[in-house]
């Protein structure tokens, strides 16, 4: 669960440089974690990232920018989830739409 304030913060966060986002044909993903990942797990998770898959952490989020479609990625999502704990994943665009529709005043 996320509060309205947390959803708004996720929607406005820009975890990667604009140029990297433009260069990707994939969709920016947000893994909503059940709890913050420990420092060691974060370090191990970030080590799985490569030139084709960018990763960044928020408070209880893991941002993933695949270079192309998710199905074309070589990122080991099962291993990644094993490191950081259970998640639900949505595109960042979906979270931005939710924030705009339901949280805008």
CATH assignment of the domain containing 46: 3.30.70
pLDDT interval class at 105 (50, 70, 90): low
What average pLDDT does the structure give for the chain?
A: 94
Rounded Cα gap, residues 29 and 40, in angstroms = 22
Number of domains within the chain: 1
Mean pLDDT, range 20-35, rounded to an integer: 96
Report which of residues 13 and 104 the model is more confident about: 13
Rounded Cα gap, residues 37 and 68, in angstroms = 26
At residue 85, the pLDDT reads 96
Mean pLDDT, range 91-96, rounded to an integer: 96
Measured N-to-C along each axis, helices 92-103 and 4-12 cross at an angle, to the nearest 10 degrees, of 130
Q: Which domain holds residue 74?
A: 4-103
């Amino acid at each position: 669960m996320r509060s309205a304030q947390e959803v708004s913060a996720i929607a406005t966060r820009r975890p990667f440089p604009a140029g990297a986002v433009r260069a990707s044909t994939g969709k920016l993903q947000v893994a909503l974690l059940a709890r913050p990942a420990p420092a060691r797990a974060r370090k191990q998770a970030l080590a799985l990232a490569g030139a084709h898959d960018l990763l960044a952490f928020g408070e209880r989020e893991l941002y993933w920018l695949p270079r192309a479609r998710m199905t074309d990625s070589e990122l080991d999502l099962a291993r990644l989830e094993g490191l950081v704990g259970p998640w639900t994943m949505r595109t960042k665009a979906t979270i931005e739409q939710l924030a705009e529709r339901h949280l805008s005043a």
